[in-house]
């Protein structure tokens, strides 16, 4: 019986094993898997900039602080601008001077100017006539000396001698009459003698004059006359030059300002305007102005510090247009990502929150990173959360096609 029972048991086990061998084992379900590129990123505004001064100087004003909203053109900070303002004032004054000179150059001559120029011409012409008359007199005197005495002059000189002698004879006769008169007084005799002596001198003078006239001019007299002629000729030449100069001045006045003078004055104005623009540009560089509407992210400087050109002073961004830029998208992964690819973004600061987005740009040029060559991809979020802030770390998953 035991053998039979054992046989049945063995038979049953064999039957069970056979059934177990032919019964199929169910296959576990496999979930769908989509490969993705996972990279890190940071939140930045679509428009942002580290603003800096364009010139060196001491900071005297900082008008904003973290989180302040500012408008384009608003002055955020200012350097000491005393020197720059003085330069602008000096350039403005120089421009006014140049403009006044240009107006003067373009202005037609005033009536009183023309009248004065005409009077100068008349005076110069009168001076020329006087000089010419003096020259004629000097030449006549020289010619007279060179010609010697005329017969008429010699005859006149002889007649003067005869006249002087006649007066002498009369004086002698009167003296003799007084001396022969017993009734004459000593005073009358003395007077008569003096008259005779005077008449004798007159006779001698006329004789000497006749002899001198007859002998002709002396060399010294001729030299003096020639010098006087030369002097008169020089005066005529000077007077003629003065007439020409006065006439030229009058012609210039009537013709109006020359084109060259106006052109030079216009060039001076242009130069002064350029100098003023340069001075104003230098003054503008003392101010740090917001280039667009935005929010102040960081202020790097304080009042009293010395600013250096190019040194970051204020970070400004438009926080209404935040986006994510990747920081470690490698050259291996960038070829698997396309513009327009969807993306899933999470933040350490917002655990449990997931945001959808889209790749809108991929940098065509690499940037060096800590782990090699990286490319920047820009991910725009489909929906913003007010808790997302500029500079937050983000994690981006971008689905890609299978390997």
Same domain, 317 and 381: yes
The answer to the question of residue 374 being in a domain is yes
Domain, as residue range, for 98: 84-107+258-284
Chain-centroid distance of CA 351 in Å reads: 62
The answer, yes or no, to whether residue 209 has pLDDT greater than 90, is no
Do residues 333 and 374 both lie within one domain? yes
Q: Which of 136, 116, 118, 143 is nearest to 235 (CA)?
A: 136
Residue 169 lies in a domain: no
* 200: in domain: no
Q: Do 370 and 300 fall within a single domain?
A: yes
User: Do both 91 and 59 map to the same domain?
Assistant: no
Q: How far apart, in whole angstroms, are the C-alpha atoms of residue 240 and residue 258?
A: 25
Q: Identify whether residues 298 and 342 lie together within a single domain.
A: yes
Contact 142, 226 (CB under 8 A): yes
Q: What is the pLDDT of residues 299-342, one digit of tens each?
A: 999 999 999 999 999 999 999 899 999 999 999 999 999 999 99
Residue 94 lies in a domain: yes
- The residue among 217, 65, 64, 225 whose CA lies nearest residue 139 is 225
Q: Which of 284, 302, 336 is the last residue of a domain?
A: 284
Structural element, H or E, at residue 69: strand 69-70
For residues 323 and 385, state if they share a domain: yes
Q: What is the mean pLDDT of the chain?
A: 87
- The answer to whether position 195 is within a domain reads no
Is 10 a member of any domain? no
Tell me, yes or no, whether 144 lies in a domain. Answer: no
CATH of the domain at 370: 2.40.30.170
Count of structural domains within the chain = 2
Per-residue pLDDT tens digits for 59-112: 999 999 999 999 999 999 999 999 999 999 999 999 999 999 998 888 888 888
Note whether 353 and 271 are same-domain residues: no
pLDDT tens track for 152-187: 888 898 899 989 999 989 988 888 888 878 777 778
CB neighbours of residue 145 within 10 Å? 16
Confidence label for 402 from pLDDT (cuts 50, 70 and 90): low
305 & 392 share domain = yes
């Amino acid at each position: 019986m035991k053998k039979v029972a054992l046989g049945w048991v063995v038979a049953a086990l064999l039957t069970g094993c056979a059934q177990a061998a032919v019964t199929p084992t169910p296959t576990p379900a496999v979930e769908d898997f989509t490969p993705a590129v996972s990279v890190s990123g940071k939140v930045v505004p679509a428009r942002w900039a580290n603003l800096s001064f364009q010139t060196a100087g001491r900071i005297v004003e900082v008008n904003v602080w973290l989180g302040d909203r500012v408008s384009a053109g608003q002055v955020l900070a200012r350097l000491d601008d005393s020197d720059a303002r003085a330069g602008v004032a000096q350039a403005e004054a120089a421009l006014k001077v140049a403009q006044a000179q240009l107006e003067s150059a373009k202005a037609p001559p005033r009536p009183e100017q023309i009248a004065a120029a005409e009077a100068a011409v008349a005076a110069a012409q009168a001076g020329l006539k006087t000089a010419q008359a003096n020259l004629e007199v000097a030449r006549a005197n020289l010619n007279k000396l060179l010609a010697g005495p005329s017969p008429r002059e010699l005859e006149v000189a002889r007649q003067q001698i005869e006249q002087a002698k006649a007066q002498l004879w009369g004086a002698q006769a009167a003296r003799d009459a007084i001396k022969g008169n017993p009734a004459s007084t000593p005073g009358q005799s003395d007077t008569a003698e003096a008259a005779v002596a005077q008449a004798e001198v007159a006779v001698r003078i006329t004789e000497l004059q006749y002899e001198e006239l007859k002998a002709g001019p002396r060399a010294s007299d001729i030299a003096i006359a020639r010098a006087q002629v030369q002097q008169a000729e020089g005066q005529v030449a000077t007077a003629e030059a003065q007439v020409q100069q006065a006439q030229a001045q009058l012609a210039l006045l009537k013709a109006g300002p020359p084109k060259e003078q106006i052109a030079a004055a216009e060039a001076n104005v242009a130069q002064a305007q350029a100098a003023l623009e340069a001075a104003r540009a230098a003054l503008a560089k003392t101010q740090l102005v917001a280039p667009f509407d935005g929010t102040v992210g960081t202020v790097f400087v304080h009042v009293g510090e010395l600013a250096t050109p190019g040194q970051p002073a204020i970070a400004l961004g438009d926080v209404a247009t935040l986006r994510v830029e990747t920081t470690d998208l490698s050259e291996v992964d960038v070829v698997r990502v396309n513009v327009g690819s969807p993306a899933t973004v999470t933040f350490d600061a917002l655990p449990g929150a997931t945001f959808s987005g889209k790749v809108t740009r991929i940098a065509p040029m690499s940037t060096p990173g800590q782990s090699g060559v990286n490319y920047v991809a820009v991910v725009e979020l489909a929906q913003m959360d007010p808790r997302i802030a500029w500079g937050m770390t983000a994690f981006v998953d971008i689905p890609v096609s299978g390997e």
